[in-house]
Amino acid sequence: MPKPLLALGCEGSANKLGLGVVSHDPTTNKTTILSNVRHTFNSPPGTGFLPKDTAKHHRTFFTRIAHEALSTAGISPSDLSCICYTRGPGMGAPLSSVAIAARTLSLLWDKPLVGVNHCVGHIEMGRVITGADNPVVLYVSGGNTQVIAYAEQRYRIFGETLDIAVGNCIDRFARTLGIPNDPFPGYNVEQLAKKGGSVLLDLPYAVKGMDCSFSGILAAADLLAAQMREQDRILSAEGGKLKEGEVRITPEDLCFTLQETVYAMLVEITERAMAHVGSKQVLVVGGVGCNERLQEMMGSMAKDRGGSVYSTDERFCIDNGIMIALAGLLAYETGFRTPLEDSTCTQRFRTDEVHIKWRDD
Amino acid sequence: MTASTGSQDFPCVLTLDVPFPTARLASIALQSLQVDKELSALVRRTFSISSSIEGARGDSDKILKVEYKATTNRMLRVAFNSFMESLNLVVEVMEELDADVLSTPIAA
């Protein structure tokens, strides 16, 4: 009887360096996570992570995280079937630092390489963890915003952002407010939003067919934040008063408003995709997917349609190595390999470019 | 490391000989590093393996020879610095994660 196969996954397309080991049994389709180690590069409040610094972070921590991934899993390199790495999409310099290290491991250990599409990694991980077999997928993170449905061995993009990703919009607004990036900006925006909600401020709503746009919303939110600082200045002066009828803006209400607006947009396009393909399941993946408010809004929409939302916690929905290991191992089992000379990275790599040979439904 | 005069279009040249303990490691470094294309058209590079610095025969191929050529010194510095960062990572992975290193128990 064939034994389960093991893979090491190496992920570093953005500010998280993640390495992990998974095992997958091709006969029973059972997946086991043996280790999932991650180290995040956080830039100071008010700033974002730059490619150069992020790449340096990944190079600095690679061997330490690799050691931890192997020792936690309790395996040696000879147990592995393949080494999987993120081919794209993502930031060029961080991607290629991890690819160089993965290539070196592949040669040192004499194991084949498998280049993985980051988005496909998220989807396969989400399906395994939640058990959703054929859901409409909402993939929301700092770099990507897509509504995806599977058909005939491709994950097809139904709708996507026309400009910046929803997570980028939230992260950059966190910078405007100067709140910490640790553990991640979206988490801190969510905590502030929980304390807000006394008033829903006015922000544009930008759904265009199946697509959406977030850059104008960010610009409008930044303007409201500037207005809030002006109010702070007026009120701190002696006898300072706001104009008759002017609403006092707070960071809490701003975060609340931003979340409600952008998540409503995402729920709308996801619902339209579900109606189109006739699915009752929705799977939310990507870093923004661990936002509880988004899960709640998506859940009530799905409930109204007689279905349910499938989501995972931060261990699996935030970038990690095991999602790359799993998607890579599934491809490996169908005979897919990435020859060393082709083991490059690419900043642009669309979800629907990948042939999903391991699914035949 | 040596700097010398290059061709007319690529006058700025830097060469580096990196000695490895074994031919296997030198070859692995070469293969890992040469996959990514040089990003700028203003920079040319060649990687090769050679036997020894002064050409003494008999020694196995343990030396990674690197040559960078660029149109300006600035381009040369940017490309070469980036190469050194990658080389550093490759060497660290070899030191820490080669199969024989991992099979040796780590002293507490």
| From B31, B95, B102, residue closest to A77, measured CB to CB | B102
Question: Which chain B residues are closer than 8 Å to A107 by Cβ?
Answer: 28, 31-32
Encoding tokens for residue A287? 């870093």
If interface means Cβ-Cβ distance under 8 Å, which residues of chain B face chain A? 28-29, 31-33, 35-37, 85-86, 88-90, 92-99, 102-103
Asked if A109's CB is within 8 angstroms of B99's CB, the reply is yes
C-beta neighbour count of A126 within 10 angstroms: 26
Name every chain A residue with its beta carbon within 8 A of the beta carbon of B93.
Answer: 62-63, 66, 101, 104-105, 108
Residues from chain A contacting residue B31 (CB–CB below 8 Å)? 103, 107, 340
Q: How many CB atoms lie within 10 A of CB B58?
A: 6
Q: Is B89 within 8 Å of A341 when comparing Cβ atoms?
A: no
Q: Is A143 annotated as a binding residue?
A: yes
CATH of the domain at B39: 3.30.310.50
CA distance A94 to A339: 21
Kindly give the interhelix angle for A185-195 and A166-177, rounded to the nearest 10 degrees: 70
Structure token pair of residue A126: 């989400």
pLDDT in tens, chain A (361 residues): 578 999 999 999 999 999 999 999 999 999 999 999 999 999 999 999 999 999 999 999 999 999 999 999 999 999 999 999 999 999 999 999 999 999 999 999 999 999 999 999 999 999 999 999 999 999 999 999 999 999 999 999 999 999 999 999 999 999 999 999 999 999 999 999 999 999 999 999 999 999 999 999 999 999 999 999 999 999 999 889 999 999 999 999 999 999 999 999 999 999 999 999 999 999 999 999 999 999 999 999 999 999 999 999 999 999 999 999 999 999 999 999 999 999 999 999 999 999 999 999 8
Is position A67 annotated in a ligand binding site?
A: no
User: Do A60 and A43 touch, CB atoms closer than 8 A?
Assistant: no
Distance from CA of B73 to the nearest CA of A (A): 21
pLDDT number for residue B4:
62
Does the pLDDT of residue B58 top 60, yes or no?
no
- Structural domain total, chain B: 1
Task: Please report whether residue B46 resides in a domain.
Answer: yes
Task: Choose among A67, A103, A342: nearest Cβ to B96.
Answer: A67
Closest CA to B36 of A336, A92, A350, A54: A92
Chain A contacts of B96, Cβ < 8 Å?
63, 66-67
Q: Considering chain B, what percentage of its residues have pLDDT values greater than 70?
A: 83
| B38 interaction partners in chain A (CB closer than 8 Å) | none
**What is the band of B108 on the pLDDT scale with cuts at 50, 70, 90?**
very low
CB contact under 8 A, B31 and A97: no
- Phi first, then psi: give them for residue A171, nearest 5 degrees: -60, -45
CATH topology for A5-125+318-353 is Nucleotidyltransferase; domain 5 (3.30.420)
DSSP code at position A16: E
User: Distance from A242 to chain B by nearest Cα, in Å?
Assistant: 53
- The secondary structure of chain B, three-state, reads CEEEECCCCCCEEEEEEEECCCHHHHHHHHHHHCCCCCCCCCEEEEEEEECCCCCCCCCCCCEEEEEEEECCHHHHHHHHHHHHHHHHHHHHHHHHHCHHHHHCCCCC
Residues in A whose CB is inside 8 Å of some CB of B read 55-56, 59, 62-63, 66-67, 70, 76-78, 96-97, 99-101, 103-105, 107-109, 340-345
Lookup: tokens for A262: 């952008």
A139 marked ligand binding residue: yes
* Nearest to A41, CA basis, from A24, A53, A27, A26: A53
Range of the domain at B20: 2-102
Query: What pLDDT score does A248 carry?
Result: 95
The pLDDT value recorded for residue A2 is 72
Which residues in chain A are closer than 8 Å to B37, comparing Cβ atoms?
344
Is B107 inside a domain boundary? no
From the list A59, A340, A342, which residue is nearest B89 (CB)? A59
Coil vs helix vs strand at A145: strand
